[in-house]
Amino acid sequence: MALNQKRAQWYLQRFSSSLIESSGKFKVRLNDGAHFYPEFAYLCPLCLKSMFVYLPKEALLSWTNDFTLDHLPPESVGGRDTVLVCKDCNSKAGSNYDYSIKEFLKHDAVIKRKKNSKVNIKASFKGIPGSYNSGLSLTEKNELTFNVNTEKHPYIKGWLEEIKSNTNWELKATVTIPEIKLVYKALLKSAYLFCFSVWGYSFIYSSTGSKIRGVLNNSENHILENLGVFLSNSFELSANRLILIQNNSSYDGFVVNMTLLEKESNHKVMATILIPGNDSDSWENLSQFNPYLKDKVSLTFSGIEMIIDYKHPINQNSYQKDWEDIKKGNIKKR
Ligand SMILES: [Zn+2]
């Protein structure tokens, strides 16, 4: 998608003042050299390299890379919120880890015996050479069915006919379970982009923001093995929201809640992703959650839902200012 001007301008209006306030050294020099119009720049929140600028004098939109809407969580699991990221970052995350959330949900739906759930398997049959890509699904009647494409695999067509009258047959199904670490990573990225959509570049340039970016590009380790991502089937809190944690008295921070949906089986999972506050020890303090991980307890958090204002430019509600207000006890529903 080449950038469309209307969309680009909405993003510029909302985010560019926070870019200037937060990045310090980021400046846009126009062709005439005399003026800066820093309010007309947008930087990809994932790589901080690709950008687009609007040059008001020339009424010209100019970019270093194409930008595309990234859904958080991914569209394949029902995500509706979007934010602009550069095409390279979008496709890299898509093929490296974003796809894994849907895979995870499909498997989870079968494990939880949801109707119309389905996973891909490799099937091999006793006495028949080779293995075949096929599907295993749970029907409306709660029956386990096995589907193999006989047009693709005509060789086993006859055999399948044969076993209708023969009960002595054996099928071995191999299921590839998605790597949970990739699921955590994809959800951490979604939560990071969610925080960007709330706090703009003040979050991106904070130490929390850069730590998370480091985890995403493998240059930094997360304090927690699950990258601060908790999955549950509890839906006490509304989805796709930023919550100030209040029930864990020993820990101060935020969580981003996201509902994940597997569309075919209508299977839902709540993902809760921890986002530390802005204090110098907030990141290290995440280690307080380690005991929960050892005991494999699924955690739910309650707190104050932060109302997010999407209509106006981000300049007042920076991540640092919100954090200061919260510590002073000025917690406000925005
Ligand atoms: Zn990028």
> Using one digit for the tens of pLDDT, what is the confidence trace for 208-239?
999 999 999 999 999 999 999 999 887 665 66
Answer whether residue 184 shows pLDDT above 80.
yes
Distance (angstroms) between ligand 1 centre and the Cα of 201 equals: 14
Distance 12 CA to ligand 1 centre (A): 16
Query: 3-state SS of 45-73?
Result: CCCCCCEEEEECCCCEEEECCCEEEEEEC
Tell me what percent of the residues of the chain surpass a pLDDT of 70: 91
Q: % helix / strand / coil in the chain, to the nearest 5?
A: 35, 25, 40
User: Do the domain assignments include residue 18?
Assistant: yes
Contacts of 329 (CB under 8 A, 6+ apart): none
Distance 8 CA to ligand 1 centre (A): 15
Q: State how far the Cα of 156 lies from the Cα of 148, in Å rounded to an integer.
A: 9
Distance 330 CA to ligand 1 centre (A): 35
- In this structure, the answer to whether residues 92 and 115 fall within a common structural domain is no
295 and 148 share one domain: no
What whole-number distance in Å separates Cα of residue 11 and Cα of residue 313? Answer: 9
Same domain, yes or no: 217 and 279: yes
Q: Are residues 60 and 205 in the same domain?
A: yes
On the question of pLDDT at 61 being above 60, the answer is yes
Q: Measured between alpha carbons, how far is 259 from 115 in angstroms, rounded to an integer?
A: 19
- Whether residues 239 and 287 share a domain: the answer is yes
Of the three residues 141, 174, 207, the one that is the final residue of a domain is 174
**Lowest mean pLDDT: which of 79-83, 112-116, 140-144, 214-218?**
140-144
- N-term to C-term CA, the chain: 34
Q: Is the pLDDT of residue 66 over 90?
A: yes
Q: What confidence score (pLDDT) does residue 212 get?
A: 98
Residue 322 lies in a domain: yes
Last residue of a domain, one of 174, 200, 217: 174
Taking the centre of ligand 1 as the mean of its atom positions, its distance from the CA of residue 241, in whole angstroms, is 24
Per-range mean pLDDT, top range of 53-62, 144-153, 220-229:
220-229
Tokens of 182: 């990739």
Q: What is the pLDDT of residue 333?
A: 47
Same domain, 304 and 222: yes
d(CA 260, CA 73): 7
How far, in Å, is the centroid of ligand 1 from the Cα of 50? Answer: 5
Distance 217 CA to ligand 1 centre (A): 12
What ranges in the chain are assigned the alpha helix state H? Answer: 5-23, 87-93, 99-111, 157-162, 180-199, 201-204, 207-216, 290-294, 319-327
Structure tokens at 89: 């970052």
Query: Looking at residue 45, what is its pLDDT?
Result: 97
Segment 240-255, tens digit of pLDDT: 788 888 765 677 899 9
Task: Please tell me whether the peptide bond between 45 and the residue prior to it is cis, using omega within 30 degrees of 0.
Answer: no
Domain count, the chain: 2
Question: How far is it, in rounded angstroms, from Cα 181 to Cα 227?
Answer: 8
Asked if pLDDT for residue 31 goes beyond 60, the answer is: no
> What is the Å distance from ligand 1's center to 61 Cα?
18
- Chain-centroid distance of CA 40 in Å reads 27
Rounded to the nearest angstrom, the distance between the alpha carbon of 320 and the centre of ligand 1 is 24
> How far, in Å, CA of 258 to CA of 232, rounded?
11
| Domain boundaries, position 91 | 5-102+180-327
Q: Where are the beta strands (DSSP E) in 201-289?
A: 229-232, 241-245, 253-262, 267-276
Q: Are residues 79 and 222 in the same domain?
A: yes
Distance 2 CA to ligand 1 centre (A): 15
Maximum distance among all alpha carbons in the chain? Answer: 86
229 and 139 inside one domain: no
Is 298 part of a structural domain of the chain? yes
DSSP H helical ranges for 234-286: none
